[in-house]
Amino acid sequence: MRLFRSNIFLWCLGIALAIQVYIAFETPIGGSFSDAATLAMNGMQDVTPVKATLVSTDSSGATFTDLYGQPGHVQITNRSYGSFQSYKKRDVLVISVAYNLAAKSFDLVEVVRVNPMMTFPMIQGLGELGRNILLHVPMAMVAFIAFLIGTIYSIMFLIKKDFEYDRHARAASAAGLLFTILATVTGSIWARFSWGTFWNWDPRETSIFILLLIYAAYFMLRSLLEESEDKKARIAAVYNIIAFVSVPFLMFVVPRITQSLHPGGGGTEAPVVNLSGQTHTDRTLLNMHWVSVVLFLFVFLWIKDMYTRILRLEAKRAEEA
Amino acid sequence: MEFLEHHALYVVGIISAVIWLGLFLFMFGTERRIRKLESSK
Amino acid sequence: MTNGWAGVLRKDLRIEFRTRYGVSAVVMFLLITVAVILYSTPGEQLQPSIMSALIWIALFFGAMTGLARSFVSEEERGTALLLRLYASGESVLIGKLIYNLGLMLMLAVSAVVFFLFFFARDFNVRDWGVFWLQLMLGAVGIAAVSTILSALISRASQKGALLPILALPVLMPLVIATTDATRIALEVPNAWAGARGDILILISFDVAMILVSYVLFDVIWKD
C-alpha cells in the first residue's frame, strides 16, 4: 500500500501509538465507594482510588457522590495527605481512600487528580493490572483479523493464480503469528501477576497455543516442501484455508463453552464479542480499546506491507538467479 | 524495589517508549534497505 | 469399474480385503496402545478425564497411521494418474471419504471394545447415547480432515511425518470437544445437558470441514 511508504504517515502512527499507550497507562483509575468497601472487606486492597463529585465540605472532611450516584463521606485523618479546602462544589476528584471497617466510613489518603479528562475503570481483582487489557486484547483481535486476511488472500490466490496474492497471504499470516506471540507474551506476564503462574492451561491459553502450532505448521510446510514454487504455494494456500476453519472454534467457541479464568468462559457472557450484541464494559475503556485495535491494525498492515515487499524482492531475485 | 513502586508510572512509560522507539527504528531501517533494493532493480 | 464414488469405494475395499493393510495396522496400533497403558498403570484407578484423554489419543494416532495411506498409497503405487483419468475429483473425494469414515468407525468401535474389555473397572460409560453420538461425530471429523490433508501431502515429496504435524492443530477444537464430551458421558448418567455445547461444536466442525474439503479438493487433485 502506498500509504505505508510515506514517512509522515508512519511518524504520525508512531506518535499516535505512543500517546495512546501513555494515556492508557497514565489515566488515573477511578472506582466507586462500593468498590473501596468490598475490596477492603475482602482484604484484597486497603487503599482504593475513587472517582467522585464533591457535594459539600465540613469540618471533618467532605461528602461526595460517586459515579453510580452513591453518596459517601470521606474523612480527613492523620493518614491523609492534603485536605478538601481548596476544592469547589461539583469538582470531580479522584481520591484514594481507605475503608474504615469499624466506623464504616472512608478515610482520605490523598487526592490523586482533580477534574480528570477521563478515568480508567476500577476492575475488582485487577486494579492497575487491568490496564494490560489495552495491549493484550487488541493484539489477540488483530491476530485473528490477520489470519482472516491471510485466508482471504489464500482464496484469492487459488482463484486468480497470481503469486502476488500468495505473498500477501504469507505476509499476513506471518504478521498474525507475530501478534499471536505478542498476545501470548503479554497475557503470560499478566497471568503471572493476577493468577500466580505464567501458564495455567486455561482454555484460552490452550487455544492460543494451538493457534501458534497451526501457523508454525503452515510455515514449516512451506519450508519442508521440495516442489516447484507453484505447487508449494498451492499446497500452502489449501492448508491455510483448512487451518482457518478451526481458528474461530479455537478463538471464539471453545473458550466460551468451557470453564475459564478469562472473562466470558463457562456460560457467562463475554465482555465485548458476545451473542446478545451488548457490551458489558466501561465506555472509556471500550473507546480506548477500539482506538488501540485500530492503531495496532495499522501497525499490522505496515508490517504486512513491508514483509510483502521483502517477499516480492526475494521472488525477483530467485527469478533472476 | 521502593524506587520501582513509587515511580511505577515512569518505569512503565519508559519501557513502552523504548519498545515503541525500538520497533519504529527497526522498521524504518528495514524500510530504507528495502527501498534501496527496490530502486536498484 | 464405474466412474462414480461407489467405484472408488469398491476399489479401495477390494484392495483392503486383499492386503488387509489398513485394518491390521489400526488394530495392531490399538492393541499396542492398550498394552502400554495397562503395563504402565498396573492396579491404578484411572479417572474419567484420563480415560477420555487415553481413548482419544489412541483414536487420533490410530487414525494418523491408518488413514494417511488413502492418497499416499495411490501416489506410491503410481495409480493416482489412472484414478485421475477414470474418475472425477468429486467422486474420488467422496469415495475416499466414505472409505476412511468406515475405517475410522471400525477403529472407534474396536477401541471401545478393547477399552471395555481391558479396562472393565474404570471404563464405565454412564450415558451410552451421548457417548456413541460424540464418538461418531469425532470419527467423522477426523476422517474428513485426514482425507483432505492426506490428499494434500500425497503431492509432496516427503509424506510420512507430515500428516500428524499438520492434522493435530487443525483437529484440536474437535479433540477438545470430544474429550470433554467423553469425560461427561463417563461421569454422569444424563450427559446431554453437560455435553450439548461440545456436540454442537462437533457438528459445526464436521460440516465446515466436509464443505471446505469438498470445495478445495479439485485444487489439490488437478495438476
Confidence of residue C29 (pLDDT cuts 50, 70, 90): confident
Buried/exposed code over A169-198 (b: 16+ C-beta within 10 A; e: otherwise): bbbbbbbbbbbbebbbebbbebbeeeeeee
A230 touches C: beta carbon within 8 Å: no
Contact at CB, A221 and C162, closer than 8 angstroms: yes
Mutate which: C137, C178, C219, C223, vs A, most A CBs within 10 A: C219
- Min Cα separation A237/chain C (Å): 10
**Each residue of A51-95: pLDDT tens digit?**
888 888 888 888 888 888 888 888 888 777 877 888 888 888 888
- pLDDT value at residue C3: 64
Average pLDDT across chain B, whole number: 81
- pLDDT value at residue A267: 62
Distance CA A302, CA A1 (A): 9
Distance CA A222, CA A243 (A): 14
Percent of chain A with pLDDT over 90: 31
Distance CA C211, CA C209 (A): 5
Region C145-154: what's the mean pLDDT? 88
- Annotate C108-173 with DSSP letters as a single string: HHHHHHHHHHHTTTT---S-HHHHHHHHHHHHHHHHHHHHHHHHHHHTSS--TTHHHHHHHHHHHH
**Each residue of C44-101: pLDDT tens digit?**
888 888 999 999 999 998 888 877 777 777 777 777 777 777 778 788 888 889 999 9
Region A111-131: what's the mean pLDDT? 82
- Min Cα separation B17/chain A (Å): 7
Distance CA A214, CA C169 (A): 5
Contact at CB, A21 and B27, closer than 8 angstroms: no
- pLDDT value at residue A273: 66
- pLDDT value at residue C159: 63
**Which chains, if any, share at least 3 CB pairs under 8 A with chain A?**
B, C
CA distances from B13 to A11, A24, A308 (A): 19, 10, 32
Closest by alpha carbon to C90, among C207, C4, C192?
C4
CB contacts, 8 Å: B27 with chain A? 10, 302-303, 306
Backbone angles phi, psi at A92, to 5 degrees: -95, 120
Three-class SS of chain A: CHHHHCHHHHHHHHHHHHHHHHHHHHCCEEECHHHHHHHHHCCCCCEEEEEEEEEEECCCEEEEEECCCCEEEEECCCCCECCCCCCCCCCEEEEEEEEECCCCEEEEEEEEEECCCCCEECCCCCHHHHHHHHHHHHHHHHHHHHHHHHHHHHHHHHHHCCHHHHHHHHHHHHHHHHHHHHHHHHHHHHHHHHCCCCCCCCHHHHHHHHHHHHHHHHHHHHHHCCCCHHHHHHHHHHHHHHHHHHHHHHHHHHHHHCCCCCCCCCCCCCCCCCCCCCCCCCHHHHHHHHHHHHHHHHHHHHHHHHHHHHHHHHHHHHHHC
Q: What is the DSSP letter of C46?
A: P
Task: Name the grid cell of C61.
Answer: 494416532
Beta pairing partners, A64: A54, A72
CA distances from C93 to A171, A202, C138, C154, C219 (A): 31, 37, 19, 14, 12
Q: Is the pLDDT of residue C143 over 90?
A: yes
Contact at CB, B37 and A313, closer than 8 angstroms: yes
Beta pairing partners, A97: A48, A108
Average pLDDT across chain A, whole number: 86
Nearest to B27 among A18, A25, A302 (CB): A302
Nearest to C212 among A217, A241, A257 (CB): A241
Mutate which: A173, A207, A246, A268, vs C, most C CBs within 10 A: A246
Which chain A residue has the Cα nearest residue C217? A238
Q: Which comes out higher in pLDDT, residue C19 or A239?
A: A239
Confidence of residue C211 (pLDDT cuts 50, 70, 90): very high
Beta pairing partners, A48: A97
A234 touches C: beta carbon within 8 Å: yes
Which chain A residue has the Cα nearest residue C212? A242
Distance CA C220, CA C207 (A): 20
Which chain A residue has the Cα nearest residue B14? A22
Of A225-229, C190-194, C211-215, highest mean pLDDT: C211-215
**Each residue of A123-170: pLDDT tens digit?**
877 778 888 888 899 999 999 999 999 999 999 999 998 999 999 999
Confidence of residue C1 (pLDDT cuts 50, 70, 90): very low
Buried/exposed code over B8-40 (b: 16+ C-beta within 10 A; e: otherwise): eeeebbeebeeebeeebeebeeebeebeebeee
Region C130-158: what's the mean pLDDT? 88
Region C171-185: what's the mean pLDDT? 92
Confidence of residue A8 (pLDDT cuts 50, 70, 90): confident
Contact at CB, B27 and A10, closer than 8 angstroms: yes
What ipTM was assigned to the predicted interfaces of this complex? 0.89
Nearest to A25 among B13, B38, B41 (CB): B13
CB contacts, 8 Å: A10 with chain B? 24, 27-28, 31
CA geometry: angle at A265 spanning A131 and A129, to 5°?
A: 15
- pLDDT value at residue A280: 65
CATH numeric code, A29-116: 2.40.50.500
Q: What residue has cell string 468429486?
A: C90
Task: Name the grid cell of A181.
Answer: 506471540
Q: What is the DSSP letter of C223?
A: -
Contact at CB, A206 and C168, closer than 8 angstroms: no
**Each residue of A190-234: pLDDT tens digit?**
888 888 889 988 888 888 999 999 999 999 888 888 778 888 899
Backbone angles phi, psi at A199, to 5 degrees: -140, 125
Average pLDDT across chain C, whole number: 86
Distance CA A285, CA A279 (A): 11
Region A287-313: what's the mean pLDDT? 92
A257 touches C: beta carbon within 8 Å: yes
Q: Is the pLDDT of residue C137 over 90?
A: yes
Buried/exposed code over A37-70 (b: 16+ C-beta within 10 A; e: otherwise): bbbbeeeebeebbbbbebeebeeebbbbebbeee
What contacts C168, CB < 8 A, 6 or more positions away? A213, C60
- Min Cα separation A149/chain B (Å): 22
- pLDDT value at residue A240: 94
Task: Name the grid cell of A60.
Answer: 471533618
Beta pairing partners, A90: none
- Min Cα separation B19/chain A (Å): 10
**Which chains, if any, share at least 3 CB pairs under 8 A with chain B?**
A
- pLDDT value at residue C12: 81
Residue ranges per structural domain of chain A: 29-116, 127-320
Asked which of A28-37, C17-26, C54-63, C191-200 is least confident by mean pLDDT, the reply is: C17-26
Region A34-57: what's the mean pLDDT? 84
CB contacts, 8 Å: C150 with chain A? none
Residue ranges per structural domain of chain C: 5-221
